[in-house]
Amino acid sequence: MRLRRAVVVFLTLVVIGAALAYVAVPYVLAASLFVRVADLGGRVGAFAESRARQVSVLPPHTVPTREGEVAAQFYRPEGRVRRSVLLVPGVHSMGIAEPRLTALARDLAGSGIAVMTMALPDLTQYRITARSADVIEDAVAWLAAQPELAPDGRVGVIGISFAGGLAIVAAGRPAVRDTVAYVVSFGGHGDLGRVLHYLATGEAVHAEGITTHPPHDYGVAVILYAAADRVVPADQVAPLREGIRTFLYASQLTLVDMNRANATFAVAREMVTGLPEPAATYLKYVNERNVNALGPILVPHLALEADPAASPERAPRVPAAPVFLLHGDGDTVIPTAESAVLAEYLRSKGADVHVLISRIITHAELDRSAAALEVWRLIAFWADVLER
């Protein structure tokens, strides 16, 4: 999570100075959070660290849910805790150990929020299902019942990528609707079927002023993994999934260790030679990141992968709490238009919605340099969240 430092360091200094001089504490906290997440270093980073609380990372524990005990981890700031938040990652096999998740959890906790990270079992297995919304619902209920973490009986929820849409689904359910202080969807979806269609075809829902970009290859690999039992003979399903899982793990390792990542990509390529057809060709397409070849194969199977209950726009109720939608304008995993269209839908149902389409975010992470106004908008967005 790095910005190009040459431009952003100066701009961030200006923004933080304005925050200190003219606005309330949440803006200063949000500015500090921005700098720490962006990992700017130098004097700006030193200032941000001076504003952050000390954070203790507690040993992993489990949370009881209807899908069984689910691993979770607390990040506790020093001093009094006014609000706790459930932070849920997207489709990723590393779960609560995923490096970007642990970094964000630390940074949020440094802003004075107690953070509980929890990876959804289905998403760690590359499956996007409504069961994940059930798990979020149960975790919110459990966390809100801890008086030392939720003094007023309410907690925040932040979902990243597909967990963003699932968090909105869960936050609208009667059992927890009144215990959610706010819900943040960071690069999330409004309709799962629309997103799967985009990943396979490149065609996204239209939203005025928003450009659709070609889809990332990670998406079709995830869809193929889930649909493998419908596109290859039964005896090829397990080895094809093992090959896809190896490729996806290698993709995740690129953020941690490129040597390991390249070695794992090589293993995935070698696995093609041991597969019969058509599994060998499909895994070859995955390794080659050939979205154009895989997409048409997957289109006939998308309807069975798009559980309506996993989509906020198909949920019976919208959240009573404020909904914050944050999306990068160049997202190639979940198209940016999803948040714009979802915002319109939620407002039509009476929800309190705050939306920011940002040029300094890709898919759920900071990645680009930007003008001071873009930095300020992102800070203002998080300031609104932090004061809830």
Q: Indicate whether 227 belongs to any domain.
A: yes
One domain, residues 281 and 186: no
Domain stop point among 279, 305, 331: 305
The answer as to whether 12 is a domain residue is: no
Task: Tell whether 20 is covered by a domain.
Answer: no
Which of 241, 274, 305 is a domain's end point?
A: 305
Alpha carbon separation from 31 to 63, 275, 357, 364 (Å, rounded):
32, 52, 18, 18
For the chain, how big is the Rg over CA atoms in Å?
A: 21
200 within a domain of the structure (yes/no): no
Joined together, the tokens standing for residue 90 give 């997207």
- Measured between alpha carbons, how far is 308 from 193 in angstroms, rounded to an integer? 8
CA dihedral 72, 78, 82, 85 (to 10 degrees): -20
Instruction: For residue 109, tell me if it sits in a domain.
Output: yes
CATH code of the domain in which 96 resides = 3.40.50.1820
Instruction: Clarify whether residues 173 and 315 are in a common domain.
Output: yes
- The answer as to whether 318 is a domain residue is yes
Q: Residues 301, 325, 148, CA angle at the centre, nearest 5°?
A: 110
Please state, in angstroms and rounded to a whole number, the distance separating the CA atoms of residues 259 and 95: 21
Instruction: Give yes or no: residues 382 and 275 share one domain.
Output: no
Last residue of a domain, one of 247, 276, 305: 305
Per-residue pLDDT of the chain (388 residues; tens, 9 = 90+): 444 444 444 444 434 443 333 334 444 454 555 544 555 455 444 444 555 679 999 999 999 999 999 999 999 999 888 899 999 999 999 999 998 889 889 888 988 899 999 999 999 999 999 999 999 999 999 999 999 999 999 999 999 999 999 999 999 999 999 999 999 999 999 999 999 999 999 999 999 999 999 999 999 999 999 999 999 999 999 999 999 999 999 999 998 899 999 999 999 999 999 999 999 999 999 999 999 999 999 999 999 888 899 999 999 999 999 999 999 888 999 999 999 999 999 999 999 999 999 887 765 555 445 566 777 788 788 788 888 8
Residues 138 and 285 in one domain: no
And the tokens for 386? 């932090």
**Residues 267 and 332 occupy one common structural domain:** no
User: The domain containing residue 368 runs over which residues?
Assistant: 55-191+311-386
Distance, first Cα to last Cα, the chain: 26
Answer yes or no: do 287 and 359 share one domain.
Answer: no
Which is it for strands 114-118 and 84-88: parallel, antiparallel or unpaired?
parallel
**Smallest Cα–Cα separation from 184: which of 304, 322, 282, 295?**
322
Q: Do 237 and 118 share a domain, yes or no?
A: no
Q: Do the beta carbons of residue 299 and residue 200 sit within 8 Å?
A: yes
What's the domain count of the chain? Answer: 2
Q: State whether 187 and 316 are in the same domain.
A: yes
Residues 85 and 127 in one domain: yes
Angle between helices 162-171 and 131-144 (to 10 degrees): 60
Domain contains 116: yes
- Residue 325 and residue 182 share a domain: yes
Whole-prediction pTM: 0.86
* CB-count burial class (<10 Å; 0-12, 13-18, 19+) for 48: buried
**Helix boundaries (H) for 39-154:** 42-51, 99-110, 121-124, 131-144
Q: Please say whether the beta carbons of 184 and 157 come within 8 A.
A: yes
Question: In this structure, are 65 and 158 located in the same domain?
Answer: yes
Q: 298 and 315: one domain?
A: no
